[in-house]
């Protein structure tokens, strides 16, 4: 089994060798995570083949080693365990995505190889899965036995875990409920690049023109994928309510599920006010989408953290979000944004009206939100925190090996 380099760019020699980190991903990852890790570490990415999507959200512009495994989750778990055992001497640290079967394979392998391993948790898997029952969608069946398996594997991981890395206190509580005694570190991977996501410095009209958005009316940005836990229906229903009241609104949607989103908009009767495309590049285009918009909405039924509202806040855009999960830690009603009860389209519509009718209050909350993002979610601080955790673990492992 050989390692292949994704990009053959020469690496400058450093006085201090970088730690060798392997990141095992089971469900795809954001390009910003990959690029941030590659900046700090000698990175190897081991990914499950995604038949219905991509392993990395956009092509990375960095050097790292890439290994592609089988598409089956069970086969990928065995593949990852075999790979980590065989190449254990090549890594100082293992990161593994989630707390599913692949994470269990990596944690058990860590016990044999003594390479410290941390689980990177970005989603409350069981909570997301339960939304299949409360908010059913075609192709996303709810099976009690399957949920039971997720819960069992989560508890097994809790028994053998070395460390958890979570971006929100909500996710910390989620893994703590599995019964773990392992350390839980708050690390907001991948943070927000504040040099890119910042309040608009050009007229909104110019930004709208560049992003090919309508010149008249207000734009609501909604980037959530189509999934039971994201509740696109509440957003589209709120839009219908507002349009019926005479509001001049457009809904901007960027995600890999935009075709399904457009179909749902047609069913509800608001497709004529929808601008929907595939996901755009998070550095070159996404910041301008926020800056060209008037409001950002996150209508999730469950959420681990929610980066879209945080990015919107960094751009000075008012945010409305459902009062659930990690969203409650960032979108605080009356302070950093507006919140509404999960699934309540009428309450969501009222929040949007309040923003449009009270620009001074919207600006006040947006200023407070921007300060919060700068203090808590700066990209450089996030990766500094991650690097410190990994370096500390590696030193402890090295000392233990020397003492043994």
Of the pLDDT bands very low, low, confident and very high (cuts 50, 70, 90), residue 403 is low
Q: Tens digits of per-residue pLDDT, 102-137?
A: 999 999 999 999 999 999 999 999 999 999 999 888
Q: 404: exposed, middle or buried (C-beta count within 10 Å: 0-12, 13-18, 19+)?
A: exposed
Stretch among 5-14, 120-129, 290-299, 339-348 having the lowest mean pLDDT? 5-14
pTM of the model: 0.92
Q: Tens digits of per-residue pLDDT, 257-301?
A: 899 999 999 999 999 999 999 999 999 999 999 999 999 999 999
pLDDT at 298: 97
pLDDT tops 80 at residue 241:
yes
CATH topology of domain 4-191+379-403: Rossmann fold (3.40.50)
Q: Tens digits of per-residue pLDDT, 388-402?
A: 999 999 999 877 666
- What number is the average pLDDT over the span 158-187? 97
Domain spans of the chain?
4-191+379-403, 204-376
3 and 44 in contact (C-beta within 8 Å)?
yes
Whether residue 176 is preceded by a cis peptide bond, meaning omega within 30 degrees of 0, is no
Q: Tens digits of per-residue pLDDT, 269-281?
A: 999 999 999 999 9
pLDDT at 3: 38
pLDDT tops 50 at residue 347:
yes
Please report, in angstroms and rounded to a whole number, the separation of the first and last CA atoms in the chain: 31
Token pair recorded at residue 241: 């309510």
CATH for 204-376, among 1.10.10.10, 3.90.1170.50, 3.40.50.11540, 3.40.50.2000? 3.40.50.2000
204-376 shares the fold of 4-191+379-403? yes
């Amino acid at each position: 089994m050989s390692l292949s380099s994704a990009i053959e760019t020469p690496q400058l020699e450093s006085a201090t060798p970088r730690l060798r980190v392997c990141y095992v991903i089971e469900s795809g990852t954001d390009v910003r995570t990959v690029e941030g890790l590659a900046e700090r570490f000698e990175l190897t990415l081991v990914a499950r083949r995604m038949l219905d999507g991509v392993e990395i959200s956009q092509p990375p512009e960095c050097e790292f080693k890439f290994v592609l495994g089988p598409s089956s989750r069970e086969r990928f778990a065995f593949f990852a365990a075999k790979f980590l055992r065989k190449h254990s001497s090549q890594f100082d640290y293992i990161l593994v995505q989630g707390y599913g079967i692949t994470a269990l394979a990596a944690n058990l392998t860590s016990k044999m190889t003594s390479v410290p391993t941390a689980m990177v948790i970005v989603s409350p898997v069981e909570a997301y899965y339960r939304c299949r029952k409360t908010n059913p969608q075609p192709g996303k069946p709810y099976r009690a036995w399957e949920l039971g398996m997720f819960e069992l594997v989560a508890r097994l991981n809790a028994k053998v875990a070395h460390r958890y890395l979570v971006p929100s206190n909500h996710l910390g509580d989620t893994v703590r409920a599995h019964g773990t005694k392992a350390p839980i570190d708050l690390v907001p991977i991948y943070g927000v690049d504040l040099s890119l996501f910042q309040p608009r410095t050009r007229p909104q009209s110019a930004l709208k023109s560049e992003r090919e958005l309508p010149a008249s009316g207000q734009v609501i940005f909604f980037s959530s994928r189509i999934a039971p836990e994201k509740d696109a229906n509440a957003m589209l229903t709120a839009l219908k309510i507002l349009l019926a009241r005479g509001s001049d609104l457009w809904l901007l949607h960027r995600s890999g599920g935009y075709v399904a989103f457009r179909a749902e908009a047609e069913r509800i009767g608001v497709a004529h006010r929808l601008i929907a495309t595939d996901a755009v590049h998070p550095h070159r285009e996404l910041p301008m989408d926020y800056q060209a918009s008037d409001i950002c909405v996150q209508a999730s039924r469950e959420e681990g953290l929610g980066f879209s509202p945080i990015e919107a806040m960094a751009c000075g855009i008012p945010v409305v979000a459902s009062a659930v999960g990690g969203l409650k830690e960032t979108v605080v009603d009356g302070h950093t944004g507006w919140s509404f009860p999960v699934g309540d389209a009428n309450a969501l519509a009222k929040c949007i009206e309040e923003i449009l009718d009270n620009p001074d209050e919207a600006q006040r909350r947006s200023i407070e939100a921007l300060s919060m993002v700068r203090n808590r979610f700066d990209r450089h601080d996030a990766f500094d925190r991650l690097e410190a955790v990994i370096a500390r673990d590696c030193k402890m492992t090295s000392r233990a090996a020397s003492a043994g």
